[in-house]
Amino acid sequence: MTRELQQETKDLLDRLHREGGHTFKEMAQRAEISSTSVMNYIRARERGYSSTTEYLKEKRKKYRRKHYLRHERWEEAIANAPEAGRKLAEMIHSYITETGETLKKLSSNTGIPYSWLRRYNYALSWPSEEHLNLLASYIEPVRMYRDGVMSKTNERPEAGQGGARKTEYLDASQYRQLRDARQASTLASNGGKPRIAPLGFEIKNIVQEDSTLDYILSPEIDMNRSNSNMDPEFVAEIIKKHFIMNLRTQKWLVEHLDRELTLEDIVIVTPSSKNPYKYHIEAALPHAMQKQFRRFVNDLKRKLAPSTVSGRPRLESHKNDAQ
């Protein structure tokens, strides 16, 4: 992401540019910034852009449209791809060519994994069989969703036979039955009502069991800690903002649901049988989606951790984002 220069630096560059006779390298040494930053700033000023960021966005648009739209081999490969793969490629293609944002910014805004955008960008720039196959490996999970493959169960091979576990895929209806049964069991254990974690808690650990995710929330003793102001509704807002909203953007991941994905599809809060002061949040998710959810939860844990550098909680910026 491009950062705008400080006003003092801009004034210095403007003065040196008016004087003339200075190379970008000399101006960079005077301003103590990179020569690339100097070049981008001067070019933006010369061409009438309001900021360097806007100039670079337009520059990326022109480059991407010029170089990405003329690869017939890529278009042919996508045309022969499964429908899910084609829709995925078209969506990524539109984001890359119609906006001037960086790939990381696009990933943050759309929820499309950065690795997908990077592979797509790379394959378009240098179309080869190897690169197209790499992208196809990312398309495969999407095809599974479109084909109604929601979850899988693994069975160990019988003793003495060796080999890998047997993989059995569940179709959409089977998965929904499994999910509904889990939800009913969860609610029955608590009188039909989901339990809510107390004010002030921290995520202790994550375990995977029976193709579901459990992570434990426990009361935070020191209420002055950074996460002491985190009530359950705020956690729900974080989850909806950083996970559910992204999935809504990635429509190919939720087309197996007959309605919009809601928070109830993601987490179920239940009391722990071992410790009444601890709580489980169980993710009723397809197996193929759980890896992404684990990655999200790990990111969430890092965001909730108190800062060890400045002493200020990292959470503040994310709290503002969720509001």
Q: Are residues 40 and 115 in the same domain?
A: no
pLDDT of residue 113: 66
| 92 in the same domain as 232 | no
Domains of the chain: total = 3
pLDDT of 235 above 80: no
- Name which of 43-52, 111-120, 197-206, 246-255 the model is least confident about: 197-206
Residue 2 has pLDDT above 70, yes or no: no
pLDDT for the residue 306 = 46
Is 60 exceeded by the pLDDT of residue 18? yes
Query: Among the listed ranges 57-61, 69-73, 118-122, 313-317, which one has the minimum average pLDDT value?
Result: 313-317
- Give the confidence band of 6 by pLDDT, cuts at 50, 70, 90: confident
Beta-bridge mates of residue 270: 280
- Are 180 and 312 in a shared domain? yes
Residue 157 falls inside a structural domain: no
Look at residue 102 and tell me if it is in a domain. yes
Parallel/antiparallel/unpaired status of strands 151-155 and 201-209: unpaired
**Which of 8-22, 198-212, 302-316 has the least mean pLDDT?**
198-212
- Looking at residue 114, its pLDDT comes to 73
- Answer with the residue of higher pLDDT: 197 or 74: 74
Is residue 107 located within the same domain as residue 142? yes
Q: What is the pLDDT of residue 9?
A: 85
pLDDT band at 217 (very low <50, low <70, confident <90, very high): very low
Q: Are residues 30 and 92 in the same domain?
A: no
Domain of residue 232 covers 172-322
Q: Rounded to an integer, what distance in angstroms lies between the CA atom of residue 305 and that of residue 266?
A: 22
At 279 the pLDDT is 38
Closest CA to 93 of 130, 59, 124, 127: 124
Co-location of 292 and 178 in the same domain: yes
Residue 202: enclosing H or E segment and its boundaries?
Answer: strand 201-209
Which is more confidently placed, 314 or 71?
Answer: 71
pLDDT in tens, 151-207: 333 344 445 544 444 444 444 455 455 556 655 665 566 565 544 333 223 333 333
| Residue 211 and residue 90 share a domain | no
pLDDT tens per residue across span 196-214: 333 223 333 333 333 233 3
Instruction: Please check whether residue 151 lies inside any domain of the structure.
Output: no
Task: Please give the residue that has the higher pLDDT: either 66 or 171.
Answer: 66
Domain boundary among 48, 65, 82: 65
| Secondary structure tally for the chain: helices H, strands E | 15, 6
Give me the pLDDT at residue 5, please. Answer: 76
Structural element, H or E, at residue 253: none
The pLDDT, as a whole number, for residue 31 is 84
Q: What is the mean pLDDT of the chain?
A: 56
Q: Is residue 225 part of a domain?
A: yes
Residue bearing tokens 């002061």: 277
Same domain as 311, residue 211: yes
Mean pLDDT, residues 30-58: 86
Q: What is the mean pLDDT of residues 309-315?
A: 40
Cβ atoms of 143 and 85 closer than 8 Å: yes
The CA distances from residue 35 to 42, 132, 213, 313, 322, in Å, are: 11, 35, 49, 36, 38
pLDDT higher than 80, residue 132: no
Considering the domain architecture, whether residues 24 and 140 belong to the same structural domain is answered as: no
Q: Highest mean pLDDT: which of 65-69, 127-131, 177-181? A: 65-69
Tell me, yes or no, whether 189 and 112 share the same domain.
Answer: no
Residues 189 and 276 in one domain: yes
pLDDT, position 63? 76
Q: Read out DSSP for 123-153?
A: HHHS--HHHHHHHHHHHHHHHHHHTT--EEE
Residue 160 belongs to a domain:
no
